[in-house]
Amino acid sequence: MSIGYDFKHKLLKNVNWLSKCSVSLSGYNLLTFSPAKKWGLDPESGSANGYTYPVSRVYTISLNVGF
């Protein structure tokens, strides 16, 4: 999932050294929906025996500026 905003030229006209600016937020593996919980299994686990690292959530914030 990703969401972003591009700052318009009207907002940036007071800043002479900045020509463009945008901000975006994104995430990966934020929610898990699985019927496996009915049987006591963890859907985040990589294997059935439970001896692996869980799948991690990833959050990203990016800022793109132009001079």
- Domain of residue 59: give its range: 2-66
Q: pTM of this prediction?
A: 0.62
Angle 34-35-36 from CA coordinates, rounded to 5° = 90
Contact, 54 vs 47, CB < 8 A? no
**How many independent structural domains does the chain possess?**
1
Q: Which residue has the tokens 């995430």?
A: 27
Q: What digits encode the pLDDT tens for the residues 10-61? A: 778 888 888 889 999 999 888 777 676 666 666 666 666 656 666 788 999 9
